[in-house]
A and B are shown apart, each in its own frame.
Chain A
């Protein structure tokens, strides 16, 4: 019983006192940034990365993961009470969740959201544990050829599944790859595109890039929009325990949401953003009386909330088993691993069992904590919403500055972050999503390394990628995805699915 042994190992790691502590810290930070609109998990994790350097790998990953799924819990609180999504993944929760709150059922909505998230989180933890071993066993057979094709598939699929124009996202991936090439070439020792700057010889650090593009760029754009007042629904949360009828209505929706989230989370480009939209659309479609939706239907809260939490967790699967991030956040996680001196890839499963299984088990522990953090303590988080944005954003700017400086005590990184902030603002203005750039930046070095090795082995014959069956299969999927994107019918469907 390999699985049982592994889970026991994971649980014993996750239940070490210090790891419980880091899990709790992660969950608390995650809930806080989830509740606060305008701060997402990406800049937060980027900010904390430099300080995880001194921790053990398992503790660092446990805390960072806690921030990610904690944010999914926190985001729903703001969505329900203020009708503003705390995170993009809780956009749909606003629709029926806030409507429930307006009808005096805020307690029931919050409880449904938290319980759905917990249920989905528990199931997703099991899914990760079940899928991880076979997937990594398969990936261990990969050579440079297969790995290159897999990286290409990961990048292309992430682009196709994410928001925004496919052409623009592809261009952004290439830009990211280009920036990733900066630094000393490993094979020849020649400096590339460093412009004589010594700080660039190790390559561009992705933390300042992520903070500039996602943190500061977003703040600048936020400040341009007129600051509408947030109105918090104030009512006592005495009845936090949903009625039996509520639970009966919510449970099937919770189940469907969990399945959708788990499946979409694993796919490249998955994560927490896409699943709730899909889940909500499905609930509306199969409901006996679709007109209830938008007027406080409890299924409209249960299903998307289950889906975003399940998706957040299962998106760790490609990262842990293949070393491939499915979204920008997982790209940061890859960075966290590399900071710890761990080369991401299928070998991580076998070489770092304590880390992998500790992380998996900690997700369940973290979900349990989040249930407690979010339900009885909801009042604490609501009071955080009273902090006005005019105080919040200068604090974020300061923390970003100190954080980037802290990576290696270099002012260069602060300037780099400021440059990226301006570029990030430009991207927002011209309507381009910055996430694919980060993926390209993180995966660039691996992509080049594997490509060069594959070409060396095949003596410069490009057809090698088609002659290896697994690689050919992966590239075929890439081709199908790209062709599908060009067909007008699919384009229209995708637009509908993403805007709904």
Chain B
């Protein structure tokens, strides 16, 4: 049997190391103070060091298991379509909502999000997008009085 690394453990461990190192770098200028009178840098450093400990634990365990011929777990293949679809839908919403208004941003993000799955039906998505846009304007702007433009501001 060929050796495999326990990828979930490995990646999670590396992620922890990355975050903790980032924290230590970001807080390097904050004073630590003493235990009796802690500075702003005390807690971040204590926790970051603990996180590094956990990160090392997972990385080492992943490697150790692969050396012991432990059949490591694989990560299911990452599919780009759902991930990109959802993230782009949200990003487009963020880019459009203030400049083009809630109505247009809603239709755009619904239609883009609908393409995140393979059984998308484009015409249905557009119609559904318009319905949802109308609903969200009614719900969030009319009923809950969210202060956001409904239409592009230059039309007013």
Contact = CB atoms under 8 A, between A and B. Distances in A.
A178 B44 contact: yes
Interface residues of A, number: 62
Interface residues of B, number: 73
Interface string B102-138: 1000100111011011011100110011001000100
A417 B90 contact: yes
A431 B8 contact: yes
14 contacts: A168-B58, A175-B19, A178-B19, A190-B40, A193-B26, A394-B116, A398-B93, A398-B136, A401-B93, A411-B97, A421-B90, A429-B76, A448-B43, A456-B36
Contact of B11 (A51, A193, A223, A430): A430
B54 A174 contact: yes
A401 B83 CA distance: 16
Contacts of B26: 192-193, 195
A224 B75 CA distance: 13
Given A190-B40, A418-B87, A460-B34, A178 B94 contact: no
A224 B76 contact: yes
Contacts of A422: 83, 87
Contacts of B79: 223-224
A37 to B, nearest CB: 15
Contact of B113 (A177, A393, A415): A393
Q: Is the interface of B mostly helix, strand, loop or mixed?
A: helix
A68 interface: no
A95 to B, nearest CB: 26
Contacts of B129: 394
Contact of A462 (B35, B55, B81): B35
A51 B128 CA distance: 25
A219 B57 CA distance: 30
B64 interface: no
A431 B72 CA distance: 13
Interface string A403-417: 001100101001101
Given A395-B110, A414-B93, A429 B148 contact: no
A398 B111 CA distance: 10
B82 A220 contact: yes
A171 B54 contact: yes
Interface stretch (A180-188, A266-274, A345-353): A180-188
Contact of A429 (B41, B51, B78, B146): B78
A391 interface: yes
A390 B93 contact: no
A223 B117 contact: yes
Contacts of A342: none
Given A391-B124, A429-B11, A429-B75, 13 more contacts: A167-B57, A174-B51, A192-B40, A394-B109, A394-B125, A398-B106, A401-B90, A406-B146, A411-B94, A414-B90, A429-B78, A448-B43, A452-B43
A393 B119 CA distance: 13
Interface string A150-191: 000000000000000001101100110110010001011010
Interface of A: 51, 167-168, 170-171, 174-175, 177-178, 181, 185, 187-188, 190, 192-193, 195, 216, 219-221, 223-224, 227, 389-391, 393-395, 397-402, 405-406, 409, 411, 414-415, 417-418, 421-422, 425-426, 429-432, 448, 451-452, 455-456, 458-462
Contacts of B148: 405-406, 409
Contacts of A223: 79, 81-82, 85-86, 116-117
B75 A418 contact: no
B93 A190 contact: no
Given A192-B44, A224-B79, A394 B90 contact: no
A432 B37 CA distance: 36
B80 to A, nearest CB: 10
Given A394-B110, A397-B90, A188 B132 contact: no
Contacts of A417: 90
Contact of B87 (A406, A421, A451): A421
A391 B115 CA distance: 11
Contacts of A462: 35
A23 B111 CA distance: 34
A399 B98 CA distance: 16
Contacts of B55: 171
B51 A393 contact: no
A418 B47 contact: no
Given A174-B51, A177-B47, A411 B116 contact: no
Closest 3 CB pairs of A and B: A460-B36, A223-B82, A460-B35
Interface string B24-61: 00110010001111111111100110110011011000
A193 B23 contact: yes
A178 B47 contact: yes
Given A193-B26, A397-B89, A181 B16 contact: no
B7, B83, B98 pick with most chain A CB within 10 angstroms: B83
Given A168-B12, A170-B54, A455-B35, A187 B113 contact: no
B153 interface: no
Nearest to B113: A394
A472 to B, nearest CB: 19
B90 to A, nearest CB: 4
B12 A430 contact: yes
Contacts of B47: 174, 177-178, 181
Contacts of A409: 146-148
Contacts of B37: 456, 460
A192 B36 contact: no
Contact of A405 (B36, B40, B78, B97): B97
B144 interface: yes
B16 A390 contact: no
B117 A418 contact: no
Nearest to B84: A220
B46 to A, nearest CB: 10
B83 A220 contact: yes
